[in-house]
Structure formats: C-alpha cells, structure tokens
Amino acid sequence: MYLVIAVFIAIVFFINLFFYLLNQKNKIDDENKRLREENNTLALQYSLLTTSINKKKNSPLCDRQLIKDLTDAELRVASLLVEGLEDKEIAGRLKNSTFTINSHIRNMREKANCRNTKELIAYLLRNEIV
C-alpha cells in the first residue's frame, strides 16, 4: 500500500516536473524568438545607417575633413557668414578688423578649394559644417 502511494506521488511529481520544464522551455523559446526579431531589426537599421554614411562619404560635395582644419575663429566667422552677414557686420559682431575677417574667409576658401565666398557658403551648408 505504501509502495503504491509512493509510486503515485513519484508519478505526480515527475508529471509536474515535466510540465514545469516544458513551460520553461516555451518561455525561453519565446524570448529567443523576440531577441532574434530585435536583432534582425537592429541589423537592418545598422545596414541602412552604414549605407547612408557610405553614400555621404562618397559624395563629391561632402568633405568632413575640413571641419578639423578650421580654427575656432574661422568657425565663428563661417557661422555668421552663412547667416548672410557681410564682412563689416561680422567684424563688428566679433570685434575684429575687416582685414582679419577677410583673412579668415580667404583661409577657409583655400582650405575648401572654393573660388569665391558664395561657393564657400554653399560648401559650408552642404557639408553641415555650421
């Protein structure tokens, strides 16, 4: 009699253990599926981002190297230049001489290989430098 009860309890225990483990396996499978979907989404986003960056790098209109070559003073002048201010107005705002401002503009044009100030402004805007 005790043996039958012990066997019955053992069977119930193992059945409960089986269903518990099955439930845990299903939870793990669901989590793995969710992580795979998230990974695929992130991989797609990464792919789109790198494609976009590579297109921008290969564009003849963009040269991010220029930003490293510009001095702080040149960047200040560039930001005012793209706002449409003239040399005298920029000189007044920055409390510099017109000659100094023209020197900064000339240096930026040389660094960007631009023929004139209008081309420099277009270059600065196109490359999102200011």
Average pLDDT for residues 109-125, to the nearest whole number?
A: 90
> Encoding tokens for residue 11?
């069977």
Q: Is the dihedral of CA 53, 59, 62, 63 positive or negative?
A: positive
The pTM assigned to this predicted structure is: 0.51
Per CATH, the number for 65-126 is 1.10.10.10
47-54: list long-range contacts, CB under 8 Å, 24+ apart: none
pLDDT tens profile 70-82: 888 999 999 999 9
pLDDT tens profile 59-72: 444 455 666 688 88
Highest mean pLDDT among 1-5, 8-12, 59-63, 67-71: 8-12
pLDDT (0 to 100) of residue 40? 83
pLDDT, mean over the chain: 85
The DSSP code for 114 is -
Q: What is the DSSP string of 49-96?
A: HHHHHHHHHH-TT--THHHHHS-HHHHHHHHHHTTT--HHHHHHHHT-
Q: What residue ranges do the domains of the chain occupy?
A: 1-58, 65-126
Average pLDDT for residues 22-37, to the nearest whole number?
A: 93
